[in-house]
């Protein structure tokens, strides 16, 4: 199916086409190019995408967006990054369905994926979402540019590490519904306090379309601050949370062997459903999803079914069985990212798993001057999870190591490579192993090793 023609690309970007062509996808990483894609040759601080044009076309690119001539079919523009934003704006302008924006300190990607599944259950093939964690200044316009013109629902994750970033991204997405999942210590290196983080996340409401809906976490200490941020832009504000005062809240939440059974009140109605993913944080995510599906006019019953079928995401709760020493161990892969709130939430999930509890915990980054205190404070969630042995990875884990001394058996190593050497000696059949840390620590390599058998 044609996503863009060269004429449409030229009209959207003000560029000049070298030939007529049509593309079925868009990418700016030549390694991700598939047959029929548009390759956007962007110039970065360290490399220039124009160097990879031949490789992109060898992989099947049908055309390129460039700022210099090439022998391949192209649309030439002055600035390819600006042109990618223009293409994203054009995709958003031609789409006639509902658009939902998702941000928050934790739970963005999980909520986005759950919301996609919930909407897709009732509109198969007509729901589009940003893939992976494409939520920054390049990922958001790319995700928009990939949106088919006949999309009924578009779900876009938006992230930030500095004030002002979301204010721009939300003007590209122009959501009809905007969700803030939660506010927690993340990127605190760049913010004076959590209130400033809440203000930065609240920027998402500035892009709301007329008649738009803001979805806000009721249980957050920053609830009123978020509501104040949404009030000038939202026609309606919907709250979600565990407290009965929330517009969408659980009447009942019963833990199952794998997941949670929830009966939720949605305004004047009740909806019962099962969440396949365990943990209180997933109850919160699911309530946000239900609130958004309701606001978008989706089918709540089908949304509930989708939440019961939802599998774990790689790096964000995926579970698998690893072969260790002739037996099997459960691995919970939370290796993609970490902050104090998400660490505590996933350790709480580990607490309910059968078997001996092993925690492989990588350091949390971008926490600024409070980093030592945040790491030391992880001792209590570790103890509450009944962790019997821990593998701490990274120099910033030193305060946690000191707090656990004499209370939990642990090994402290400098990096992921060292962790690989030690982990095989530490785990045994029947163990439940949680792997979690900031993405830059590289614990995905530990997960990959476990998947291959240790």
CA 258/CA 280 separation, integer angstroms: 12
Mean pLDDT value of segment 122-129: 96
Mean pLDDT value of segment 272-299: 95
pLDDT of residue 357: 97
Full-model pTM: 0.87
Architecture label for domain 318-452: Alpha-Beta Complex (3.90)
Hey, where are the domains in the chain?
A: 4-81, 95-309, 318-452
Instruction: Confirm or deny that 202 is annotated as ligand binding.
Output: no
pLDDT tens per residue, range 127-182: 999 987 789 999 999 999 999 999 999 999 999 989 999 999 999 999 999 999 99
Mean pLDDT value of segment 406-413: 96
Mean pLDDT value of segment 195-215: 97
Is the predicted pLDDT of residue 188 greater than 80, yes or no? no
Is the predicted pLDDT of residue 186 greater than 80, yes or no? no
CA 168/CA 92 separation, integer angstroms: 15
Percent of the chain past pLDDT 90, that is, above it, reads 87
Whether the CB-CB separation of 248 and 217 falls below 8 Å is answered with: no
pLDDT tens per residue, range 432-441: 999 999 999 9
Instruction: Identify the bridge partners of residue 157 per DSSP, sorted by sequence position.
Output: 102
pLDDT of residue 239: 98
Instruction: Confirm or deny that 308 is annotated as ligand binding.
Output: no
Span 95-309: which CATH code? 3.40.1190.10
Instruction: Confirm or deny that 2 is annotated as ligand binding.
Output: no
pLDDT of residue 454: 66
Instruction: Confirm or deny that 24 is annotated as ligand binding.
Output: no
CA 114/CA 313 separation, integer angstroms: 10
Whether the CB-CB separation of 129 and 101 falls below 8 Å is answered with: no
Instruction: Confirm or deny that 220 is annotated as ligand binding.
Output: no
What is 260-306 written as a DSSP string?
EEEEEEETTEEEEEEESS-SHHHHHHHHHHHHHHHHHT--HHHHHHH
Higher pLDDT, 247 or 451: 247
Q: Which residues of 402-420 are buried (b: 16+ CB within 10 A; e: fewer)?
A: ebbeeebebbbbeebeebb
User: Is the CA virtual torsion 399, 402, 408, 409 positive or negative?
Assistant: positive
Instruction: Confirm or deny that 436 is annotated as ligand binding.
Output: no
pLDDT of residue 443: 96
pLDDT tens per residue, range 25-62: 999 999 999 999 999 999 987 889 999 999 999 999 99
Q: Does 4-81 carry CATH code 3.40.1390.10?
A: yes
Least confident span in 79-83, 107-111, 289-293, 324-328: 324-328
Instruction: Confirm or deny that 360 is annotated as ligand binding.
Output: no
CA-to-CA dists, residue 378 to 240, 316, 359, 381, 400, angstroms: 27, 19, 12, 6, 7
User: Is the CA virtual torsion 26, 32, 35, 41 positive or negative?
Assistant: positive
pLDDT of residue 313: 79
What is the overall mean pLDDT for the chain?
A: 95
Residues in the chain: 454
């Amino acid at each position: 199916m044609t996503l863009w023609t060269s004429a449409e690309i030229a009209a959207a970007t003000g560029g000049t086409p070298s030939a007529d062509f049509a593309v079925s996808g868009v990418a700016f990483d030549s390694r991700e190019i598939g047959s029929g894609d548009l390759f956007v040759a962007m110039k970065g601080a360290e490399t220039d995408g124009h160097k990879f044009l031949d490789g992109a076309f060898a992989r099947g690119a049908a055309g390129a967006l460039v700022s210099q001539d090439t022998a391949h079919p192209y649309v030439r523009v002055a600035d390819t990054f600006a042109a990618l934003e223009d293409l994203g704006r054009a995709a958003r302008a031609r789409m006639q369905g509902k658009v939902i924006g998702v941000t928050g300190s934790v739970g963005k990607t999980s909520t986005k994926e759950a919301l996609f599944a919930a909407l897709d259950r009732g509109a198969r093939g007509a729901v589009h979402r940003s893939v992976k964690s494409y939520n920054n200044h390049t990922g958001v316009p790319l995700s928009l540019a990939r949106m088919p013109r006949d999309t009924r629902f578009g779900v876009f994750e938006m992230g930030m590490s500095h004030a002002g970033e979301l204010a721009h991204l939300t003007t590209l997405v122009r959501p009809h519904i905007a969700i803030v999942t939660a506010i927690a210590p993340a990127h605190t290196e760049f913010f004076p306090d959590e209130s400033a983080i809440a203000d930065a996340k609240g920027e998402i409401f500035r892009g709301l379309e007329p008649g738009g809906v803001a979805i806000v976490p009721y249980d957050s200490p920053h609830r009123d601050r978020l509501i104040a941020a949404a009030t000038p832009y939202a026609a309606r504000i919907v709250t979600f949370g565990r407290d009965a005062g929330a517009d969408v809240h659980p009447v009942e939440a019963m833990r199952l062997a794998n997941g949670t059974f929830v009966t939720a009140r949605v305004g004047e109605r009740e909806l019962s459903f099962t969440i396949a993913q365990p943990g209180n944080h997933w109850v919160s995510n699911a309530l946000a999803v239900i609130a958004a599906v309701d606001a978008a006019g989706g089918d709540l019953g089908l949304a509930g079914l989708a939440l019961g079928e939802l599998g774990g995401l790689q790096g964000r709760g995926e579970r698998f069985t690893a072969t260790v020493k002739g037996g099997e161990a459960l691995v919970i892969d939370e290796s993609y990212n970490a902050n104090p709130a998400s660490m505590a939430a996933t350790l709480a999930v580990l607490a309910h798993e059968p078997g001996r509890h092993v925690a492989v915990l990588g350091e949390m980054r971008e926490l600024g001057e409070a980093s030592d205190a945040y790491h030391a404070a992880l001792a209590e969630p570790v103890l509450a999870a009944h962790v019997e042995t821990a593998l701490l990875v990274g120099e910033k884990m030193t305060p946690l190591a000191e707090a656990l001394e004499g209370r939990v058996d642990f090994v402290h190593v400098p990096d992921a490579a060292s962790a690989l050497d030690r982990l095989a000696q530490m785990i045994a059949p029947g163990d439940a192993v949680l792997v979690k840390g900031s993405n830059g620590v590289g614990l995905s390599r530990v997960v990959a090793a476990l998947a291959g058998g240790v």
